[in-house]
Amino acid sequence: MKKSLIAAIFAFGSILTAVPPLAYAQSANANSQSLQSAIEAAVLGEPSLQAVGAMVNVSQSQYQLARANRRSSVGAQGSFGASSADFGAGSREIYPRSLAIAWERRVFDGGASLAQVSAAEYNLAAQNGEYENALNQLVAEVAKAYSDAYVAGQALRFANDNLAAMQRYANDATLQFNAGEVPVSRKAEALAALAGAQSLVSEAQGSLATANANLRRLTGRDFTNPNLDGLPNYIPQNIATAREQALADHPLLAANKAKLAAAEAMVRAAYASRYPNVSVSARASTVRDQFLAGYKSDDIGAYVNFSVPLWTAGRTSANIDVARANRDALKSQNAAINRNIIFGVERAYADYEAAQASLIAARASLNARQIAKDSVEAEFRVGMRPIVDLLNAQRDLTSAQMALAMTSGKLISTRYQIMAAIGIMN
């Protein structure tokens, strides 16, 4: 089954070399915390994907059933009993028993059984396309959840650094106030900044808990140290290439084409119900003591069976109309899917390009904020700047650090969004 092979897409090839045991253990632990391991865990155990996979199994079974309905059938039937019979000469106990074996093969049904096999086969292909799309969407969702957890972890680290810095500045302001060097307002500003830093830590802790819970929902496990190292960078070179690839490879388009082919087959099956059904059969039977002791009957024969629909009160025409309406609806749906896919590709690329621009700006901002904060702190230490300027510089630096982490995470998740929008995961 196709879904059993798709998980191999996410397996990294590796060459095992001799490494020190400690280094190997550290590498294995890092791999267990990687985005790749999160994706693999989700593919293996995420309930919604498993439900879609189960529907593939259902379609596979329906296809096998449709094929089996075209083949010959052999059956046996028998009975054994005990009864009392009275034919005017007293009752007697008799033990009637019988055995019959029959074979039957459909010869002509107007093409209905063949159309049903085609419809089941196309439905199986459509369900595989649905599964592949669900897999792609799950991978993109896991990538976003993982990057959210990474960003939340980084935000908490920066918030704790900010809290430690604000604690130092509050202590400095308190010492200066106690020494009579600054008014109480300066001390109050530092204490207010400290309270704000404590609040920021609490918010970051809440965000991290939420992000971890979402990632656990998808993967079924905890990731204590997510990182964005060593991730694949491939995406199509430009949006035009991405559109072409999406329209050629997207599993939803393939699924809808298969559904349309299945609907065409069901139209043929509906028309076939107007034609006669012809089958051949053979039967052999034996009966003993059916009515009285000693009764015996053996029979063997071959038969040609047929049935012709003469009047169905409009059921045949109604079935044909339903099948044709389903087919026409799928034709219209195909155009809607095309538009949605193109929109998804364009939106994903827009998000990716925005993330790229934001990352460049965030790096420049962080560099500038770090220089500004170091300069303001140096000036504060020699009495050239009030503490409020240092507090503001520290807050700006923390905001810049968080912004860089956020844009780094978004750049990764948007790469996966592009691949999901195209319909392939590399």
Q: DSSP for 271-315, please give it.
A: HHTTS-EEEEEEEEEEEESSSSTT-EEEEEEEEEEEE-----TTH
Residue 127 in domain: yes
| 207 part of a folded domain | yes
In a domain, 299, yes or no: no
Phi-psi region of 405 (alpha: psi -120 to 50; beta: other; left: phi over 0): alpha
The single-letter DSSP state of residue 278 is: E
CB-count burial class (<10 Å; 0-12, 13-18, 19+) for 266: buried
How much is the CA Rg of the chain, to the nearest whole Å?
A: 37
For residue 160, what is the domain's CATH number?
Answer: 1.20.1600.10
- Count of beta carbons in the 10 Å neighbourhood of residue 379: 15
90 falls within a domain:
no
Domain count, the chain: 1
Q: What is the pLDDT along the chain (426 residues), one digit of tens a residue?
A: 455 444 443 333 332 333 344 443 444 555 788 999 999 999 999 999 999 999 999 999 999 999 988 888 899 998 888 877 666 666 777 788 889 999 988 888 888 888 899 999 999 999 999 999 999 999 999 999 999 999 999 999 999 999 999 999 999 999 999 999 889 999 999 999 999 999 999 999 999 999 999 999 999 999 998 988 767 667 888 899 999 999 998 999 999 999 999 999 899 888 888 888 888 989 999 988 777 677 788 889 998 888 888 887 888 888 888 888 988 888 888 889 999 999 999 999 999 999 999 999 999 999 999 999 999 999 998 889 999 999 999 999 999 999 999 999 999 999 999 999 999 875
Residue 260: other Cβ atoms inside 10 A = 20
**Residue 225 domain-assigned (yes or no):** yes
List helix spans (H) across 84-220: 112-178, 184-219
- Does residue 267 fall inside a structural domain? yes
Q: Is residue 249 domain-resident?
A: yes
68: exposed, middle or buried (Cβ count in 10 Å: 0-12, 13-18, 19+) = exposed
Residue with tokens 């939803």, as numbered in its chain: 252
Tell me the pTM: 0.80
Domain containing 270 equals 2-13+22-45+111-274+314-422
In-domain check, residue 280: no
Looking at residue 13, the DSSP 8-state letter turns out to be P
